[in-house]
Structure 1
């Protein structure tokens, strides 16, 4: 896979799973009394936190797995299931409970500061996004591809900030029909990514079994 292809895969996968467009309604609902400037400040902090969380897990994922005794194929299979659950909800034009629950949204509406939680975690940098960042870093084969993951995380974080910033004045531009169509398309793409992660895990397991047959 070329650097361009890998960067395109990493950027699109991260953007789809973070899904900042679908976060906009909850963001507006949780800040009903905030001024546009206060909403922009909240969005900026949330996206900084999201970037920090994803960068940290992408950099330290392998170390964490080693300490906990988790193999990469096991994590790939678990992550593919999480991503597939999110994708199935997106295909139904629903916000997945894997990303945030109704209770978390209601609790966020009652909080004075929602930037770190629940907006940054788990709405933007949820289990799916963290899993994707770790898997993409593990699939990187060259130094350039490793760097591309970090660049894509920063790029998606900045894009998320721009989307939330534009929505800070009430998101009147948000057409429900167009949004549902976009969410379904992204859900289909995410489902394909989830299946591919699972196939990669089984391919790795098959290679390991052939190299080290049981009983030998």
Structure 2
């Protein structure tokens, strides 16, 4: 069984790095509201991954985009995300503080901005689509969707233990973890891009 998609997804989603955001957005919530936010965020994370795995390729065909081009573009996006993580920023963090404020004012912060784009943004979706194309059997595609469950459970666990994690690791510990995941993600991004470039320019594979 290939665990590379799972490692990649965990590196991109990196729920541990989103713990400070979770604490910030739920600081005025009671225990019941916080539990509900955890469940909705985890479930939404799974839905995004599952939909990307099952329908992502059909969406690409609809827009007439080749997978090789998508791999190169997705790899570049992953590399950009990894560089942000190496600077101890979440992979899917918004670039505009005002957008974050507006999103927090919406009805459910569990979906926006916690799930989209902080947990599962364009980098996550493009990665899932790329691995979905590599799935040769129904079992492999089902496994990819199953990895979505693992990522959702990891998200639920990190958010449920948000306060103890933040207290134990501290800001420095979370930053170190984020940088480590960013380094892993950078290596995976290069691999994804090289695969796409070889498909676009076969001479590179010789």
Runs (5+) with no aligned partner, structure 2: none
Normalising by the residue count of structure 1, what TM-score does the alignment of the two structures yield? 0.86
Deviation at 1:106, TM superposition (A): 2.3
Deviation at 1:100, TM superposition (A): 2.3
Rg larger in structure: 1
1:191 maps to 186
1:46 maps to 41
Matched, 1:17 2:28: no
Distance, in Å, in 2 between the alignment partners of 1:21 and 1:110 is 23
Deviation at 1:147, TM superposition (A): 1.9
Normalising by the residue count of structure 2, what TM-score does the alignment of the two structures yield? 0.90
Alignment of 1:106-185 (within 5 A): 106-167=101-162, 171-185=166-180
Q: Aligned residues, how many?
A: 204
Runs (5+) with no aligned partner, structure 1: 211-216
Output one character per residue of 1:37-65: Cα deviation in whole Å (capped at 9) or x when no partner.
Answer: 31121111111112112111111111111
Alignment of 1:38-117 (within 5 A): 38-96=33-91, 98-101=92-95, 102-117=97-112
Return closer, same or farther for 1:206/1:195 CA change in 2, 3 Å cut-off: same
Distance, in Å, in 2 between the alignment partners of 1:82 and 1:33 is 34
1:214 maps to none
Output one character per residue of 1:157-208: Cα deviation in whole Å (capped at 9) or x when no partner.
Answer: 1111111111167842342222111111100000011111101101222349
Distance, in Å, in 2 between the alignment partners of 1:170 and 1:58 is 31
